[in-house]
């Protein structure tokens, strides 16, 4: 197997243990939980893809980016959508170039029969192959981190296409034969759990469920990204975001939105989150009109009015 030459894990720096990997991720601005670092470590060590599931906005994509940053690899990202097919995900023949090649051949001397063989051999070579993300990820000479984002958006058929790549790290192209991985990519698949994935796909992956982080961890994350914000404000912010998530809102605020909100509060120079500030900046964490009303009604009233003490309201 071509994979053997690039022994999985051998190339990933700083992955001697799950703890080391966790510290490494932390150094590049991602605070992993113990489970996250353990599963990522296993993924690197075992050379298996990881299926990351969880609600939107808990940092699934961010994890892939952080892994890429930490290992110093290129991040190859395949964003899935309905109707994504082989030609856009795997490879495509460069028809225009092939046509040109044929024309230049025909324009040459008139010995058409010789030409035919050489041309037909020629136009189906790697030169005329357009690499799409998946092929690029395994054919790249440097190891990469491959992120297959929102796999649940594609049709079942597309999953079947992935099976060969994910288990054997190879691609079969009818005209060329098999292309095997030169290096072993770290593969992450993310899913928002909008539909059940096939058993076959799951079988090939490690499974990681990401949920919203515990309040303390979220506080750490916010503090990491917006260190200038007053600690008390940050604490209150995390509490409020948590309250909002517990309401039955259409789109619960993501971690990224908590950070955005923290930045906004910093810009506004807020010393505390009172009702007025909250209502002015509400639209940063809540993005649906109906949600806005709900949150203002349920959470807003719990906050103190400006001027009143914290125990006011």
Q: Does 184 bind other proteins (CB under 8 A)?
A: no
Q: Does 17 bind other proteins (CB under 8 A)?
A: yes
Who contacts 307 (Cβ-Cβ below 8 Å, separation ≥6)?
none
Q: Does 42 bind other proteins (CB under 8 A)?
A: yes
Triad 145, 176, 120: Cα angle to 5° = 135
Q: Cα–chain-centroid distance for residue 179? A: 25
3-state secondary structure of 77: strand
Using alpha carbons only, how large is the chain's radius of gyration in Å?
Answer: 25
The 3-state DSSP composition of the chain as helix, strand, coil percent (nearest 5) reads: 50, 15, 35
Q: Does 82 bind other proteins (CB under 8 A)?
A: no
Please list every residue from 189 through 248 that binds other proteins, using CB under 8 A: 193-196, 199, 202-203, 205-209, 242-243, 246, 248
Identify which range of 38-46, 123-131, 226-234, 254-262 contacts other proteins by CB under 8 A: 38-46
The minimum distance between CB 299 and other proteins, in angstroms, equals 10
Q: Does 292 bind other proteins (CB under 8 A)?
A: no
Of 21, 25, 31, 39, the residue at the interface with other proteins (CB under 8 A) is 39
Q: What is the DSSP letter of 47?
A: T
Q: Does 41 bind other proteins (CB under 8 A)?
A: yes
265 CB burial (10 A radius; 0-12, 13-18, 19+): buried
* Residues in touch with other proteins (CB under 8 A): 17-18, 34-35, 38-39, 41-42, 45-46, 48, 50-51, 53, 193-196, 199, 202-203, 205-209, 242-243, 246, 248, 250, 290
């Amino acid at each position: 197997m071509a994979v053997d030459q690039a022994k999985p894990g051998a190339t990933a720096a700083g992955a001697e243990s799950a703890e080391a990997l966790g510290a490494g991720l932390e150094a590049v601005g991602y605070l992993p939980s113990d489970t996250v670092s353990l599963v990522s470590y296993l993924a690197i060590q075992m050379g298996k893809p990881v299926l990351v599931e969880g609600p939107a906005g808990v940092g699934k994509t961010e994890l892939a980016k952080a892994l890429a940053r930490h290992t110093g690899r290129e991040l190859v990202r395949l964003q899935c959508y309905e109707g994504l097919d082989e030609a856009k995900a795997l490879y495509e023949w460069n028809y225009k170039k092939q046509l040109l090649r044929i024309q230049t051949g025909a324009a040459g001397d008139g010995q058409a029969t010789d030409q035919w063989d050489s041309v037909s051999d020629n136009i189906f070579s790697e030169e005329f192959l357009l690499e799409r993300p998946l092929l690029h990820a395994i054919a790249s000479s440097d190891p990469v981190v491959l992120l297959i984002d929102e796999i649940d958006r594609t049709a079942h058929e597309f999953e079947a296409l992935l099976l060969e790549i994910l288990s054997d790290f190879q691609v079969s192209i009818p005209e060329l034969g098999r292309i095997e991985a030169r290096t072993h990519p770290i593969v992450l698949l993310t899913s928002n759990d909008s539909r059940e994935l096939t058993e076959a796909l799951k079988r090939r992956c490690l499974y990681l469920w990401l949920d919203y982080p515990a309040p303390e961890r979220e506080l750490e994350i916010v503090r990491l990204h917006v260190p200038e914000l007053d600690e008390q404000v940050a604490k209150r912010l995390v509490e409020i975001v948590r309250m909002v998530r517990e309401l039955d809102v259409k789109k619960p605020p993501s971690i990224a939105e908590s950070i955005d909100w923290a930045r906004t509060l910093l810009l506004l120079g807020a010393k505390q989150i009172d009702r007025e500030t909250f209502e002015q900046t509400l639209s940063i964490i809540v993005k649906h009109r109906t949600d806005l009303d709900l949150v203002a009604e349920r959470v807003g009233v719990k906050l103190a009015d400006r001027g009143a003490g914290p125990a006011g309201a």
